[in-house]
Chains A and B, each alone.
Chain A
């Protein structure tokens, strides 16, 4: 006879106490109820889902898209050119200097009275009677283009260099990384300035008549220095990623399961690299824009009369007290672009960084 515990002192009522049907075996469906497998997603789908839930990232994307749209559409709508000095009836209008936003010059007002339609100066005009709005738009174009291309250069060179170094390892890696160390130690801004000064003295005549004349030697020096110096962080990043991935056990596991090298690279190495690369690039763009506008501010940017947000801000210092808006518009634009890219980069990092995933 079994020794029951105190909870069931009498055997007989025991079997009457409990509903015996409950003791029949459970069916498989009943078991399935409990096991709710979470739907499997790919790394990217999961990341994009996360990103779409980040309000700041989404707003930044919207803002950037809006800006890009504007810089394409505005030159079509606004009849002024960035270097055009306002003239009425073919004569340069000297009263159109430094107009406040949405005002017309004396001559323009006269023309309107006589029936002419004149497009408003949304941001006013500058001291050379040029429409400021279109100049800010073109300045934005320059900044964004420089930022984008410089980042692409950094991406390509850094990616190739870092992959070679990381993939081959050993002596190759050692030598390549020594070179990186030296380049990393060079002061980039000073090199850009130096190069700009030198190129300006040597190349400016050579460029006359070519497409590059409008862009100017300074832009070339920016791109050269970016190509020579700025890629090192990206290279280090890529190399680090590849090294750590190579040593990861899941690579070994994949190999043990018989996966071919191509598949290993595609499914294991790349996804871990790409997220880091995308995040790094997204944060590189505002850094490049910073650099470009800084140089423009000190006079080493795009060739005048092509405007840049930095040179506009610098020019606004003259007559700052009387016409503060000339400073505010380009400054606001720079900050808006950089802020959007920063927030987007942060959002991308939160969504895609494999280390941060919970």
Chain B
């Protein structure tokens, strides 16, 4: 099994390398290169760029230098402001991580509970209500939801004030991010619970005289959770990309807003660095969820 773990980690590292390479070379396909000194507003910045990025060296060598810098935590400097990118990312990421992290928990736990509830009360009213709402919410993209919530709760009803650094109100952005994954997890949990409850080992447990609640929580649920873990990777991807939009809509100063605005500004070094940062984050989180899945699924464990 450990062989598998190492293989998987190796694959992740390889993927990260490919992403950095693609990003770097793609960016350099832009006429004039991403570090267009002409674009920089300030001659001092221009000089810094020239030095920092060794723009006179051949491209492959530049790439190696870039990689080396990355490994040392040096992401370069922003074209627009000249500030150190790693600082920029560091500041804004803290906020995004908080929102994203809480959103994951908000999606996961209610999702599991509702899904199990729907499975246990099959065809009764809780099931119908839960399934109805989750079907609807799965059709609402995060940006639509975010804008609607902003409209209703901030602007029209004025129940929740608009976000500002001093007044950090996270509930709406978290809801906008979490509602889709929560609904997805609900549906997934319901079907995998029903599946588990129909298995022979549940029949065996009942035949032994195990109480119904134990059958559900000890025997069925443990098996039903397994498919849900496979969703963790895609869910993280959804939350990361969703945060781009949600933060923009609610004007939150997180990494998402930074990313969107630097795209509009064509601040290439920042675009490059943020893309790589987010990609690495995604690959690592997917790796973790993949490993967890392989560890708890007994079929794979013993291959």
Binding site for B on A (CB under 8 A): 181-182, 185-191, 193-195, 197-198, 201-202, 286, 290, 293-294, 297-300, 310, 313-314, 316-317, 320-321, 324, 327, 331, 334-335, 338-339, 342-343
Task: Give bound CA distance, A294 to B14, whole Å.
Answer: 29
Q: Enumerate 11 A-B pairs (CB-CB under 8 Å) in ascending A order.
A: A185-B15, A189-B237, A190-B279, A194-B22, A194-B275, A197-B263, A202-B30, A297-B245, A299-B264, A317-B249, A338-B140
**A202: contacting residue among B23, B31, B155, B248, CB under 8 A:** B31
A309 to chain B: closest residue by CB: B144
**B147–A316 touching, CB < 8 Å:** yes
Let me know if A342 and B11 touch, CB within 8 A: no
Given A193-B263, A194-B22: 6 more A-B contacts, CB < 8 Å: A182-B15, A190-B241, A197-B266, A290-B141, A335-B139, A339-B136
A321 and B141 alpha carbons, distance in the complex (Å): 21
Cross-chain contact B144 with A185 (CB below 8 angstroms): no
Asked whether B283 lies within 8 Å of A298 as measured between CB atoms, the reply is: no
Whether B283 contacts A185 by the Cβ 8 Å rule is yes
Is there contact, CB below 8 Å, between A339 and B135? yes
In chain B, residues 252-303, which have Cβ atoms closer than 8 Å to a Cβ of chain A? 260, 263-264, 266, 268, 271, 275, 278-279, 282-283, 286
CB of A297, distance to nearest CB on chain B (Å): 5
B156 contacts partner chain A, Cβ-Cβ < 8 Å: yes
- Which residues from chain A contact B266 at a C-beta distance below 8 Å? 197, 201
Closest B-chain residue to A324, C-beta based? B151
A336 to B12, CA, bound (A): 38
- Of B143, B245, B275, B286, most buried by chain A (CB within 10 Å of CB) is B143
- Which of B141, B156, B237 is in CB contact (< 8 Å) with A293? B141
Whether B29 sits at the interface, judged by CB under 8 Å, is yes
Interface residues on B, range: 35 or more
**Docked pose: A335 CA to B241 CA in angstroms:** 19
In the complex, what residues of A have CB within 8 A of residue B12's CB?
A: 185
Closest residue on chain B to residue A290 by CB atoms? B141
A77 to chain B, nearest CB (A): 28
Question: Cα distance A193–B276 when bound, in Å?
Answer: 12
**Chain B minimum-CB-distance residue to A327:** B147
Complex CA gap A327/B147 in Å reads 8
Which B residues touch A339, using CB under 8 A?
135-136, 139
Q: A185-B15, A186-B18, A187-B283 are in contact. Are A343 and B144 (CB under 8 A)?
A: no
A324 CB contacts on chain B under 8 angstroms: 151, 156
Q: Which residues of A contact B240 (CB under 8 A)?
A: 187, 189
Contacts of B268 in A (CB 8 A): 197
Decide if B147 touches A182 in the complex (CB within 8 Å): no
> At the interface, yes or no: B244 with Cβ under 8 Å from chain A?
yes
Least CB distance from B239 to A in Å reads 11
The docked-state distance in angstroms from the alpha carbon of A324 to that of B147 is 10
Contact with A294, one of B139, B143, B286 (Cβ below 8 angstroms): B143
Would you give the shortest CB distance from B267 to chain A, in whole angstroms?
Answer: 10
B19: interface (CB < 8 Å):
yes
Which of A189, A195, A334, A343 lies in contact with B26, CB distance below 8 A?
Answer: A195
Which one, A190, A298, A331, A343, contacts B147 given CB within 8 A? A331
Asked whether A299 lies within 8 Å of B139 as measured between CB atoms, the reply is no
